[in-house]
Structure 1
């Protein structure tokens, strides 16, 4: 099965990738309200214009010899490319998820005090450290407006919420 990778953007301007089995799969998830920004959890998501690599066939150089034609250029030398097989892609995704779970495990859980702790660190009142906790959408948006970068942690990355 081939995956479709779309550039997505939330209404607050965060850009991220979404991987879908098809355009129809993206459309149904969008219509069902299943898409959310991984940075701010905003659910107003739009698909951005993207420039996929297109196989344009063979171009001809001055001598008439066939060469790969890069997108946007009439002719030119072939460019190196790589593609992962499905098994390699699954392994890569598993490694990324494992790394992300380890990053979450290495944070201090401050629970409901998250917003206050994040503000205190931002203001230099306390030493910076990696923390996690709970915050409402409005609190996350307020932190973002004040220049404090936070992101929601999906349940599947937080061992405490999986139990």
Structure 2
């Protein structure tokens, strides 16, 4: 696996992307499969990254020395990118996941055709039934302006063809 820092050109949102290889990234990029998880922009590029190189086996790890101007109260504190999630939050997320799963079981996956299928159903050109899929923020805004119900799902959904 390889991790790239990616950035969307529209809003300059920065996020990580995990790929099997550099070739996998290029393939997905060329096919337009990459999109920003924050704004849906599909104009994605690699961001500048620092290389992640390990030290030689015979080298000692560098010990960081506090800067002279850092007082005890202003000293750098350890941080983590993996927050501790309280048990009650995990329970709530679990219940939310089960509720979403139950709702989606009676809904049809329409993929990236969500906006057009929602319009068809709203205007009576297709049978009324619950659907779910993907849509850009602009598409959802247009649906709402037309009076068509569209709601973002609280948790990510894998397309059926992506499941093992």
TM-score by length of 1: 0.42
Return the structure number with greater relative CO, CA threshold 8 A, min gap 6. 1
